[in-house]
């Protein structure tokens, strides 16, 4: 599965990830630290992802 990390626009390949939560865990992120996007749709932590998906993980930062 091809993952694009934003804002640095870096691409990584991750095998054997089946859910958004699993993806975030492999990237060392929590669900409140990033938006996970597939086909211009936001995904919830429990959603399944598939090997042929192109996923964007957009890190978000709180600016108090």
Closest CA to 56 of 19, 2, 17: 2
Closest CA to 37 of 15, 24, 62, 25: 24
> How many residues are present in the chain?
64
Q: What is the pLDDT along the chain (64 residues), one digit of tens a residue?
A: 889 999 999 999 888 899 999 999 999 999 999 999 999 999 999 999 999 999 999 999 765 5
**pLDDT of res. 10:** 95
The pTM for the full model equals: 0.89
Query: For the chain, which residues make up each domain, given as ranges?
Result: 2-59
**pLDDT of res. 50:** 93
CA contacts within 13 A on the Cβ side of 17: 24
Which tokens belong to 20?
A: 């958004």
Cα Rg of the chain (Å, integer) = 11
Which CATH number does the domain 2-59 belong to among 2.40.110.20, 3.10.20.30, 2.40.50.140, 1.20.1050.10?
A: 3.10.20.30
């Amino acid at each position: 599965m091809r993952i694009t990390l934003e804002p640095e626009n870096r691409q990584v390949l991750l095998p054997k990830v089946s859910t958004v939560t699993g993806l975030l865990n492999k990237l060392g992120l929590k669900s409140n630290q990033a938006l996970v996007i597939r086909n211009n749709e936001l995904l919830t932590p429990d959603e399944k992802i598939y090997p042929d998906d192109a996923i964007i993980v957009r890190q978000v930062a709180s600016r108090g």
